[in-house]
Amino acid sequence: MYLSKSDFKLARSCPTKLYYHKLGYPSVQAGSEFLELLAEGGYIVEAIAKLRFPDGVRVQAEADPEAANAETLALLNRTDSITLFEATLLCDRVVARADILVKRGRRIDLIKVKARSFDPTEYQKRIAEGKSSLFSLAAWRDTLEDVAFQAHLLRSHFPDFEIRAFLMLPDKTKPSAIDQLHRQFQVRRIPVDAGFSQIQVEFLGDEAALSAASFLTQKIDITAEVEATLPTVRAGIQQYTALLWPSLQRAEPALSISCRDCEYWVEDEAPLNGFRHCWGDLADVSPHLLDLYRVGSLGDRANELIQHGKVSLYDVTPDLLVKKDGSMSAYTDRQLRQLHHTREDTEWVSAELADILDSFDYPLHFIDMETCAPAIPCYSGMRPYETIAFQWSCHTLTAPNAEPQHECWLCTEDEFPNFAFAESLMQHLGSTGTPFMWSKHENTVLREVLEQMTRRSYDNPALRDWLGHTVKLNGVDRGRLVDLCQLTEKHYLHPQMRGSTSIKVVVEAIWRTNPVLRDRFPEYVRYDETGRLLSPYKALPTQSIHGAAIAVTEGPSAVRAYRAMVHHTEGPCDPATRDQWKDLLLQYCQLDTAAMVMIWWHWAGLLRGKARRG
C-alpha cells in the first residue's frame, strides 16, 4: 500500500477517491482511449528526451519498488557522476519514479519530461514583462506538484545535496524536419509481474538526425517554483498517507458540484460505484441538481443546497439563479427554462427559431470532421500538437422536403492529409448554401489549415480564398459556418437532455421521443436485451479485429481506428483488416452528420406543429 505520484494527484482532486482507487472501484477513465493516446505520446516524448543523455543508465527492477529504490540508491552512491533513467525513490512507503536524474558531485538535477505543449515566446514575454513565471500559474499546478513530490523524496535520501528541478517539453513553435517520425518508434508493453507491465520505447531511426531536428525544449529551470510548492506537497503527503496506514480509510466525502465530473460515477449496474457510495440515497434523486445546465455557475449556492441534502433539480429556486448584485448570468435564462420544462416534461423552441431556420440558404450542408493532434509531429514541417485532419462527412439537403445526400472523404495513406482534405471539402461544398457544424471544432480545423498553407507556402489561391470566406477568422468576421450547438443553446431544450448540449445527448433525447426519425433512419434502430431502445451511437455495428469486437462511437476511438489503419499501431494491417478499420470510421462519421439532419428535421416538425396550434 504505497502512495505514488498518481495516487497523490488523484487525492489532490478528492481524498475520498484514494480509497476507491486502492480497492479497485471501476472508473470511467479505466481503458480510456483518450488517456491511452496521451500516454503513448508521453512515452515517445520521454524516449526522445533520453536520447540527449547517451550515458544514461536505466534502473531495471521496476516491478518491485523496494528493489528498484535499492538499485537507484546503490547507483547514485557508487559514483560522483551518473545519469539515471526511471530512478525509483521510496521513503516511508511514499514512492515515485523520476524520468531522468543527473548526479554531478553533490548536485542532482531532477528532469521531468512531459508531453505538454509549450510556447517559449509566451514564457519569455511574461519574464520580460516582469510577471510571475508561466509555471506558477494554476494551469501548471499538477505538473509542479508532480516534480515537487519527486524532489521531496530525493531530499529524504540526499538532504545535504543541491537539488535542482527542470522540465523538458514539446516546443509547439518548432517544426520537425523528419517525415513519418511516428514510424521510427516501436512502443511495446512487456508483462513483468502480476498486474504490472513495463512500457518500452525503441527508436529505430537516425539518432543524429533526430537530435538535429529535435522539437523538444532545452531544460527549463523550475527550481524556484518547485521550492514554493514543496510545503503544499509535504502537507498533502502527510494527509494522504494517514488514510493508508496503519489501515486503509475512506476520507469523509465533501459533496459538491465538483462531483459531477467524478471518474467513479459509473453505470448504476456496477457493483462498486464510488459516486453512489459517497452520495448514498441522494444519488437516486431525479431529476438531479447536478443535471442543471452550467451548474458550476451557481458555485457556493449549489454547494449549500447539497450540504443541506437538497439535491433535486427542483430545489433550485429562481432566486438562486440571480447573482448577489441582482444581475443574471449568461446562463440564467436557459437554466430557468430547464427547470420549467423538466417539471412540465415538455420541449421548448424559441419564438425566433422558425425565422432563423428559414433564413438559411439551401443547399444545407451538415459537416463533421475527425482529427487528431499528436504530440509527435508525424510529417515533415509539422509541429507538436499540430492538427491532422483525416476525415470529413457531409449530409446535404437540397430542399426542405428532399432526402439527404451523403458524401465523405477519408485519408487512407500515411501522409500529411490536410490540404487534400480541405480541397475535397471545398469541391463538395462550393460557395453556395449553408454549411453547419456542431460546436466550433470544424471552424478551428479549417482556420488552422489556412494557417498551414502560409507556413508551408502551399500554393492554391482558390483554396485560400474559399477558406478565407468560409471560416470565422476573428470575433468580427462571421464566416459561412453556422454552429448548430450554439443554436441549440439559445433556442431549443428537451427535458431528457439533462442540461447537456452534446450532440449525442440531444440526438438520444429526440430519438426516444420521435418515432418519425426512427422510421426515416431504420438502420440505427436497435434494442438491448431488456427491450430498451438504444441510442443511434450504441446501435453502430462492431468489427471483429484481431479477435476483439471493436466499435468506433466517439472521437478517441476514431483516432485509434485511423492510426491502426494508416500507422499500423494495432498490429498487422492486411487489406481486409484495413477495410474493417475504414468501415468503422466511415459509419461513425456518417452518423455524426446524420444526427444533425435528425435534429434539423425534429425542429422542423416541432415548428410545423407549433404553427398549426398557433
Neighbour count for residue 357 (Cβ, 10 Å) = 17
Residue 50 main-chain phi, psi, to 5 deg: -70, -25
| Long-range contacts at 516-525 (CB < 8 A, ≥ 24 apart) | 516/601, 516/605, 517/598, 517/601, 517/602, 520/601, 521/594, 521/598, 524/591, 524/594
| Mode of pairing for the β-strands spanning 107-113 and 348-349 | unpaired
- SS3 readout for 121-187: HHHHHHHHCCCCCHHHCHHHHHHHHHHHHHHHHHHHHCCCCEEEEEEECEECCCCCCCCCHHHHEEE
pLDDT of 32 over the 80 cut = no
Rounded distance, CA 311 to CA 279, Å? 10
pLDDT level of residue 196 (50, 70, 90 thresholds): low
Q: How confident is the model over 251-260, as a mean pLDDT?
A: 96
* Alpha-carbon distances, residue 431 vs 225, 361, 363, 426, 481 (angstroms): 52, 11, 10, 8, 11
Q: What is the pLDDT of residues 350-383, one digit of tens each?
A: 999 999 999 999 999 999 999 999 999 999 999 9
Give the pLDDT of residue 141. Answer: 95
> Which residues, including other chains, have CB under 8 Å from residue 408's CB and lie 6 or more apart?
391, 392, 393, 394, 586, 589, 590
pLDDT of 194 over the 60 cut = no
Domain boundaries, the chain: 31-241
Contact 72, 98 (CB under 8 A): no
pLDDT of 35 over the 80 cut = no
The C-alpha cell that represents 61 in the structure block: 527492477
Q: State percent of the chain over pLDDT 90.
A: 81
Contact 452, 417 (CB under 8 A): no
What average pLDDT does the structure give for the chain? 93
Contact 416, 449 (CB under 8 A): no
Q: What is the pLDDT of residues 514-530, one digit of tens each?
A: 999 999 999 999 999 99
Give the pLDDT of residue 5. Answer: 96
Q: What is the pLDDT of residues 257-288, one digit of tens each?
A: 999 999 999 977 767 899 999 999 999 999 99
Give the pLDDT of residue 613. Answer: 66
Rounded distance, CA 205 to CA 514, Å? 56
Q: How confident is the model over 1-22, as a mean pLDDT?
A: 96
Q: Compare 473 and 33 and report the one with higher pLDDT.
A: 473
pLDDT of 538 over the 90 cut = yes
> pTM of the entire structure?
0.92
Can you state the angle between helices 141-157 and 5-13, rounded to 10 degrees?
Answer: 140
Give the pLDDT of residue 295. Answer: 95
Contact 603, 492 (CB under 8 A): yes
pLDDT level of residue 330 (50, 70, 90 thresholds): confident
| Mode of pairing for the β-strands spanning 434-437 and 364-372 | parallel
Neighbour count for residue 248 (Cβ, 10 Å) = 12
* Alpha-carbon distances, residue 389 vs 13, 424, 444, 586 (angstroms): 34, 12, 11, 14
Q: What is the pLDDT of residues 184-193, one digit of tens each?
A: 988 877 766 6
Cα 170 to its chain centre, rounded Å, is: 18
Contact 130, 137 (CB under 8 A): no
**Alpha helices by DSSP H, 197-307:** 207-212, 223-241, 274-279, 300-307
Give the pLDDT of residue 614. Answer: 59
Nearest Cα neighbor of 99 from 21, 154, 160 is 154
The C-alpha cell that represents 140 in the structure block: 501548471
Give the pLDDT of residue 31. Answer: 67
Q: How confident is the model over 54-72, as a mean pLDDT?
A: 90
Rounded distance, CA 446 to CA 471, Å? 7
The C-alpha cell that represents 204 in the structure block: 529505430
**Alpha helices by DSSP H, 492-543:** 503-513, 515-520
Nearest Cα neighbor of 208 from 61, 60, 51 is 51
Considering only 362-376, 565-579, 580-594, which range has the smallest mean pLDDT? 565-579
Give the pLDDT of residue 476. Answer: 63
DSSP code for 87:
E
pLDDT of 39 over the 90 cut = no
